[in-house]
Structure 1
């Protein structure tokens, strides 16, 4: 088996689909939303992963006023936070986070702060020391703002950051930030990440002298 080793000075982690498998909740909530608006659930689910909800709504209902999308998004976030059935960690996520330890790393998610904390707790995962959530950015992925903000908060050059992402929007955001992207899972693989693994199982982390080395077993470059 081929092993690729990647080095970085900071690791920036998406949440849903990267650390936490919340697909069951996302599907329930967004299929109900699709039904309310006369849309096909399968079509809606092709859009929503990785983006803030109001941006997904703007894509799916382009004629609707922004204020309505923002208002409904607040309700959707509360609905998602109240539903943790089926929320589980991505394979290998807990060991990966624990191995990062005190090394600079951040959670960069399209969820708001409440939903991020609820889902990480439901999956039994420790929170990174820095959280960049929806409230802290003016533009959703695929805009790179969230990743650039996390790099600035950690005082690390974007080129020295490694992003972990699962979605088309997230991969695009990481690359647009000038960062290398490790794609996690089947959604990411189709969208040109720098590296790709099926999950975090067996991904080994070693940190020394301000640099982390991440060994990716069976990765695709």
Structure 2
């Protein structure tokens, strides 16, 4: 049975939700793992949805955070320059087209330049409201980004519906008091309010300032 939600605004993660950037993430973070003497597969299980310095802190807990921030700046530049294989998630162009003129925001752990680069490489329009890594004090799974996105759009948390693919993002949405649609193969395991294999399984209709979202 399809799941049907009504909302006043949608809050959208980027990587894994709108943009398939797995190829870049795997290349960059696998190289980083090898440099640190870590198992790349173990690193890739942790990295999705987090800010880079938070991933480093999780994997190397005894390392000074200043080193993580410095290394993350290098990593961000590397990821921003590497756009090979960055494509839209199936259904993303039509999904975003359906949101044109309706309240929605991008809430991503990526920095502004990385978000611009990846959305551009995928040929996707940028939402007018964007909450990127530079704009929060605490990244996902902290709810700050989603709460900030809702506030900037002018809606209460319970009026918003989140789209996410990663465990930390789904946890952040829940902590913000929001319903969340899990997108893609990773998301189903993390207990979202509903799950879509891709955005091809999501239909958005708008009437009277209310968005009706059908999943499945």
TM over 0.5, shorter chain: yes
Partner of 1:122: 121
C-alpha distance in structure 2 between counterparts of 1:69 and 1:210, whole Å: 43
Partner of 1:166: 165
C-alpha distance in structure 2 between counterparts of 1:148 and 1:69, whole Å: 26
> Deviation of residue 157 (structure 1)?
0.3
What is the RMSD computed on CA atoms of the aligned residues? 0.6
In the TM superposition, structure 1's runs of 4+ consecutive aligned residues that sit over 2 Å from their partners are none
Q: Deviations over 1:142-194 (max 9, x none)?
A: 00000000001001000110000000000000000000000001111101101
Partner of 1:145: 144
Partner of 2:205: 206
Q: Secondary structure at the match of 1:181?
A: strand
Q: Secondary structure at the match of 2:162?
A: strand
Partner of 1:51: 50
Partner of 2:178: 179
Q: Deviations over 1:43-90 (max 9, x none)?
A: 000100000000000000001001000000011001000000000000
C-alpha distance in structure 1 between counterparts of 2:184 and 2:91, whole Å: 12
The answer to whether residue 103 in structure 2 is matched with residue 104 in structure 1 is yes
Partner of 2:86: 87
TM-score, length-scaled by structure 2: 0.99
Partner of 2:62: 63
Q: Which runs of 5+ in 2 are unaligned?
A: none
Q: Secondary structure at the match of 2:125?
A: coil
Partner of 2:75: 76
C-alpha distance in structure 2 between counterparts of 1:108 and 1:139, whole Å: 13
Partner of 2:28: 29
Deviates more, 1:9-18 or 1:200-209: 200-209
C-alpha distance in structure 2 between counterparts of 1:127 and 1:135, whole Å: 17
Q: Which runs of 5+ in 1 are unaligned?
A: none
C-alpha distance in structure 2 between counterparts of 1:139 and 1:203, whole Å: 30
C-alpha distance in structure 1 between counterparts of 2:141 and 2:200, whole Å: 26
The answer to whether residue 40 in structure 2 is matched with residue 41 in structure 1 is yes
TM-score, length-scaled by structure 1: 0.97
